[in-house]
Amino acid sequence: MLTKIKPKAAGAVPTAAQVSAGIPISPVSLIRVLSPSDWEDFTHEWLWYFQSTGVYCEVNKFSGPGDLGLDLIAFTASEGFDAPWDSFQCKQYGNALEPGDVFPEVVKLIYHSFSAVPPFNQKERVPQRHVFVSPLGVGITVKRLFKDAPRFKSKVRAAWDKLVPKVSAGLNAPLEGELLDWFDAFDFSIFQTVSAVDLIATHQLTGFHAMRFGGGLPPRDPADPPPATPAIEESVYLRKLFEAYGDNLGKPVTSPSDVGPAMGRHYDRQRTLFYSAESLRNFARDRSLKGTFQALQQDIYDGVIDTCEDDHDDGFARLKEVVKEAGKVAAGGNALYSVSTVADRQGICHQLANEDRLDWIKRS
């Protein structure tokens, strides 16, 4: 029986973005086509989340003579190998990992740690976790073995003689004597894996995700309102704000109570703008690469500095013109622009004032 069909998209009206970028491909699919080198970079980016949240203090790429089965090493403390550490083996294979892919790596780790080959000669001789990281994960057989350490050990023991030559050509290392004792005491529960879905879910929390896979930055949560009592971090820009008010009123201003209702409402709005920009700063810290927010601040500075240096009737007039100009700045080249608001860009003026890069009163 034949059924006449047509492409699903035949009846759709494409958007400009769809025509420009094509059909989105999920990151879970894209990681399968990364080169081995890019896969290792991706894994390092994934580990960066755990480093940024304090799980690890340092992540290193292992390099040295011979293949010891170590690709990336994550230290839990500044003592390095003298404190618990984890190792991550990057396997960019076109298949889910099977026993034939995993067993030789297990034997390498056991043999080299027994032989105390550096870095297996340190205080913490064996990693607390040895994680296989592969875009297709592990097959059902390996998955079951990872959950059954005694059975896993018996399988490797039975295949030991066939596996040893894969550690080093011509190696003769029968499982007997001290090596057998080491093998029997070895904790096979350290061998683990992580699914592609979990890899992507964590990678999305890093500043690398949008740059590697596109799709833009995730939506931001609304900015928190300013606290009733200004924080110490607000002291510089608020002092400058009061100076601007005082310049307009011809009298000293040290608090909102020194101004009328209109300026009081202006004061409240400026604090809201500042906290909006701070919200964007915090978002950028977690979801973009270092320097991205500072580059946006520089764009705003470059867009308003001429207005700030122009002649104005008083500091209040200068402040209002600069803040107004900041909302017009075209900073579309910055990755944060798509998630920023006029309030964010205007609030950056007060961040710049806080950093003594903008002043509302001309200093002699």
The answer on pLDDT for 16 being more than 70 is no
What is the per-residue pLDDT across 204-248, written as a single tens digit (0 to 9) for each?
999 899 889 988 888 899 999 999 999 999 999 999 999 999 999
Q: Three-class SS of residue 90? A: strand
Chain mean position to CA 340:
19
Q: What is the CA radius of gyration of the chain?
A: 29
Give yes or no for a cis peptide into 226 (omega within 30° of 0). Answer: no
**pTM confidence score:** 0.76
Domains in the chain, CATH or no CATH each: 27-213 (3.40.91), 232-354 (no CATH)
Strand partners, 248: none
What is the per-residue pLDDT across 181-191, written as a single tens digit (0 to 9) for each?
999 999 999 99
163 confidence band (pLDDT: 50, 70, 90): very high
Residue owning tokens 């007997």: 176
Contact 125, 80 (CB under 8 A): no
d(CA 95, CA 85): 28
What is the per-residue pLDDT across 256-296, written as a single tens digit (0 to 9) for each?
999 999 999 999 999 999 999 999 999 998 888 889 999 99
What is the per-residue pLDDT across 29-79, written as a single tens digit (0 to 9) for each?
999 999 999 999 999 999 999 999 999 999 999 876 567 889 999 999 999
Q: Three-class SS of residue 72? A: strand
